[in-house]
Amino acid sequence: MALTDMFVRQAKATGKDYTIPDFDGLSLAVSDKGTKSWHFRYTWLGRQKRMSLGTYPEISLREARERRDNARALVAKGINPQRQREKDRRIATQAEQNTFEAVYDKWLAFRAQGRLKKGRQTTLSMIPRIFKNDILPSLRKRSIYEITRADLLEIVGRIEKRGAPSIAEKVRTWFNQLFRYALVIVPGLEQNPASDLDVVAMPQPPVRHNPFLRMPELPEFLQLLRKYPGKLKTQLGLRLLLLTGVRTGELRLATPDQFHLDDGLWIIPPEVVKQLELKMQKENVRPEDIPPYIVPLSVQAIEIVRHMLDQSKPAQTYLFPGDKSLKQRISENTLNKALHRLGYEGRLTGHGIRGTISTALNELGYPEKWVDAQLSHVDPNQVRATYNHAKYVEQRRRMMQDWADRLDLFEQGQVEAASTLLTIQLDGFPVVATEAEEQPLSAARAAPTLVVSQPLQGAMALATAPVQRLSAVRVPKIEPAISNVQRERMILLDILEAPHNLSVADYAKLAGKSRRWITYEIQAGNLLSISLGNRGQRVPDWQLDPLKRRLIQTILKQMPPGVDTWHIYHALIRPNDLFQGQSPIEAVTPENLHLAVHLVCSAVSERVVQRDSRTPQLPRYA
């Protein structure tokens, strides 16, 4: 007889265990204490088996019969239902344990065991940032077994749509590496959903190489660099790049112990050098098994290093320390931002300085082997594919001293002398011919001669003009050719980036207002802001003070439409004898507010008259 819900519910404890059969192997077991559980009896390989299907009332009669039917279907297919249930439980446990995030953490830890550099723009630091922002929010708790190719394509597609194809390409590669790793460590994972994602990848934009300067552009750049309005260490960092050709990362990681000034050498460990690091990873060799990158230093480069060493503090780790901590190194963006401030955005980068040196030295006639060794380039010829970073040291010492002297000539405006092609001789016989050799050279334009077979006897002199070496640290007596417009722009840029001049967003946070509201206040003439080109608006933080804001609002209301806000800014910060040498913005009080307004408005009116009478007018930056 078949069981009913009422019969099962009313089954009572009798003081001993008993069983009530249903049909097709299902039965209800009642314990001596009244606990009820479902069981399924079946025959497997000629032997009676029994498996539990759950307890009552958690599993109803109907659910118990469904479970029995499923188990009977497995038996009919030749599958032991008890073993299948154990397998399903094991898979469920694995699925719970092997979430995407758990596998990602193991994969990242595995990658970190290699000799990968650490730093903001290295692979080991980029992966966590990109996964945190673009991948983990969607896949973090998902089982690795459930993730499909469509899931991965959706994530990559979002990255491509926001205009980051290079990031999308990296993510495709990392997905493939992660799932290949998962195929090995995750039990039961049988396919890689990240394979062939590149088939539908958006085409990559053309590669944009780092811009660099040609020799005719060097005089203006060097003269502007000499007048760089920022920190001296930033200027010296750029100059040391130009004197050595090292990578910006190698400069930032430079430590005092790497410099051997008595020998005129900078010895960079292989784990710091990009190309040597790649070789160590590929061939799985130790750093001590690879020769270091040896950089000969010119007299000018030694002066910079010696100055930085003299300025170093006991707690300092790097030659060029960071601004926030002596333990940190100079920021990776510091040098490029300095080039932007000099007006070279889009024209030169820190890495582009290497292109400048490489192009110039090759054009001057120096052997390609010497130049490649100086820049730690990999030799493309596989027959001689050895690392020559420790080779041609004496030859490169002469070459880089010559290059440093030429830079001094460029800065002094002697472009023709600094650009004169080189004739290299070996025991008096030319080995690198130039077009200049085919015609007699005048005494005034004779090419400099370098005899590579003889030991170095001082720096090589250019025959075209005596080299007046310039101090890299001290300002020379010569006046760089900077136009009034360039000088004025550099001064205004320095003011714009002063700490008290805040971006609209930062000012809004401090004022407790929305960015839109602050923009409205500026447009309505209730807040003073200054701007320069495309560098955005800056709002002086004085206006967070109620009295100073009242002063500025009163001034703005009295100004005619279209007045240059830079004039108001300068009038506010100009010292005045009526305030005992203080500026109106510093000295304003409730008692002298009207006097401060009068003085600022008068100064602005005077400045506007002077500007209008100027011929020609300087460009307005507001």
- Catalytic residues, by residue number, are 247, 274, 351, 354, 377, 387
Q: How many CA atoms lie within 13 A of 621 on its CB side?
A: 24
Please name every residue paired with 49 in a beta bridge, in sequence order, or none if there are none. Answer: 42
Going by the DSSP 8-state scheme, the letter that residue 121 receives in this structure is: T
Residue 283, SS3 per DSSP: helix
Separation of alpha carbons 551 and 572, rounded Å: 10
Crossing angle of helices 546-558/565-573, nearest 10°?
130
Selection from 543, 553, 472, 546 nearest residue 508 by Cα: 543
- DSSP letters of 151-218? HHHHHHHHHHHTT-HHHHHHHHHHHHHHHHHHHHHSTT----TTTTGGGGPPPPPPP-PPP---GGGH
Q: Which residue, among 479, 245, 248, 215, has the nearest Cα to 350 in the 3D structure?
A: 248
| Cα separation, 21 vs 29, whole angstroms | 9
DSSP type of residue 331:
P
Give CA separation, 289 vs 257, 277, 279, 285, in Å. 20, 12, 11, 7
H or E element in which residue 30 lies: strand 26-30
Q: What are phi and psi of 188, to 5 degrees?
A: 80, -5
Is it true that the peptide bond before 499 is cis, omega within 30 degrees of 0?
A: no
- With CA atoms as reference, report the closest residue to 213 among 333, 409, 346, 332: 346
* CA separation for the pair 298, 387 (Å, rounded): 22
Distance CA 196, CA 102 (A): 24
Contact between 492 and 486 under an 8 Å Cβ cutoff? The reply is no
CB-based contact 230:342 (threshold 8 Å): no
Query: Which H or E run contains 314?
Result: none
CA pair distance 157, 165, nearest whole angstrom: 9
C-alpha closest to that of 225 among 319, 331, 353, 320 = 353
Nearest one of 171, 192, 174 to 183, comparing CA atoms: 192
